Amino acid sequence: MGSRRDFVQKMTATVLGAPLLYDRTGLKTLTDLPVDGPMLRVAIMGLGSYGTRVAKAMQTCKRAKLVGVISGTPSKIVDWQKTYNIPEKNCYNYEDFDAIKDNPDIDAVYVITPNGLHHSQVIRVAQAGKHAICEKPMAISVKEGEEMVQVCKDAGVMLLVGYRMHFEPNTLKVIHMRKAGEFGKIMFFQGQSGFKIGNPDQWRLNYALSGGGAMMDIGIYAVNGSRYMVGEEPIWVTAQETKTDPIKFREGIDETIQFQFGFPSGAVASCLSTYAFSHNDRFYLNGIKGFAEMQPSTGYGPIKGRTHEGPLTEPIVTHQTLQMDRMAEMILDGKKAEVPLDGEEGVKDLRIIEAIYKAAKKGKKIML
């Protein structure tokens, strides 16, 4: 008879990404599963706050391993070498990292730098023949995003966007319920994403590096979430911007935007993106037969929520650990993510964000 290991391997082969894979009897994270196969050897570019979070999370990955760094700060490189046992030959700076093409010990580079740098850095990674994982937003314009997709295609490498919620079990549970018709016809989605931003000198408030304000940084979760929760692509957008602090939030840096989508089925969405206040991380999906409510909905977790059937009880995971193991399976084994997160998906969000900015500026409905 098959062991639990056999069972897990069999299930892994058939339903990648489905929460059904996991028992609830003691597995703390989904990556506690015994997984076989080679490791994806990753270099992280940008050793800032999120890069650090990803590096720590990767310590418990089963299929992905941090083997290299790219940074402009030599002291950080030394610290990371000690912490993560990274050999000198796998350390680069922003000037010399094209030489990674001659390094057979690195498979992929995870770009975790300010948004405005993603375009040129991902293109250089692809041209060095390495797979690119890029943080959200993948770029600061549709044009940039499309170029990145094309260059990666031409170079024969994968481009994945760091949409960690696409693997999160409670999120997937709601998506499965929606696909199974348990909410009935979807009528309404509400997505609220935001936090009160601090230091006015940070790159997030510098247009050249951020490409926008709250919308680019955190509002993108409500944009992306609208799409995977409703299961459709919006066909129109309306938006209204409010600014209480025009000194901190200069021209091009949005503070608060409320935006609405219409979907082909007739469903509508009403969302809010802000840098003005915290405790603003909530999704609500409403169908004619039921609902799902998640709060927090896209923070680092634990993701909590309920549906008309009761509380969401899928396993609590470290998002970045699961994301990197799943991305390794995609890159090394050719598996597909249940909720796609390739470069084209990143461009779809950028196209919607550009429409939101246009709608807010013109005060008109924008068709997509």
Comparing CB distances to ligand NAD, the nearer of 51 and 262 is: 51
User: In this structure, are strands 108-111 and 40-45 parallel, antiparallel, or unpaired?
Assistant: parallel
List 9, 11, 20, 48, residue binding ligand NAD (CB under 6 A): 48
Comparing CB distances to ligand NAD, the nearer of 57 and 267 is: 57
Q: Is 348 a catalytic residue?
A: no
Comparing CB distances to ligand NAD, the nearer of 50 and 236 is: 50
Residue type, 266: G
Q: Is 136 a catalytic residue?
A: yes
> Which residues have C-beta within 8 Å of that of residue 26, sequence separation ≥ 6?
none
Query: What is the total residue count of the chain?
Result: 368
Q: Is the Cβ–Cβ distance between 210 and 115 less than 8 Å? A: yes
Could you tell me which of 327, 350, 305, 367 has the C-alpha nearest to residue 132?
A: 327
Which of 136, 163, 173, 284 is the catalytic position?
136
Q: Is the Cβ–Cβ distance between 105 and 92 less than 8 Å? A: no
212 part of the interface to ligand NAD, by CB under 6 A: no
- From the list 43-51, 265-273, 277-285, 360-368, the region that binds ligand NAD by CB under 6 A is 43-51
List 70, 86, 112, 272, residue binding ligand NAD (CB under 6 A): 112
- From the list 30-38, 46-54, 80-88, 192-200, the region that binds ligand NAD by CB under 6 A is 46-54
209 part of the interface to ligand NAD, by CB under 6 A: yes
Residue type, 57: A
Q: Coil, strand, or helix at residue 223?
A: helix
207 part of the interface to ligand NAD, by CB under 6 A: no
162 part of the interface to ligand NAD, by CB under 6 A: yes
343 part of the interface to ligand NAD, by CB under 6 A: no
135 part of the interface to ligand NAD, by CB under 6 A: yes
Cα-Cα end-to-end distance for the chain:
54
Minimum CB separation of residue 243 from ligand NAD in Å reads: 21
Joined tokens for residue 241: 């911007």
Comparing CB distances to ligand NAD, the nearer of 14 and 83 is: 83
Rounded CA separation 137/59 (Å): 25
Q: Buried (b) or exposed (e) across 353-367, using 16+ Cβ within 10 A?
A: bbbbbebbeeeeebe
Q: Is the Cβ–Cβ distance between 43 and 67 less than 8 Å? A: yes
Minimum CB separation of residue 54 from ligand NAD in Å reads: 8
Interface mask (CB under 6 A) for ligand NAD, residues 65-94, using x and -?
-------xx---------------------
Give the count of residues interacting with ligand NAD (CB under 6 A).
20
Rounded CA separation 239/257 (Å): 7
Residues near ligand NAD (CB under 6 A) are: 46-51, 72-73, 112-115, 117, 135-136, 162, 164, 203, 209, 217
Which residues carry out catalysis?
Answer: 136, 221
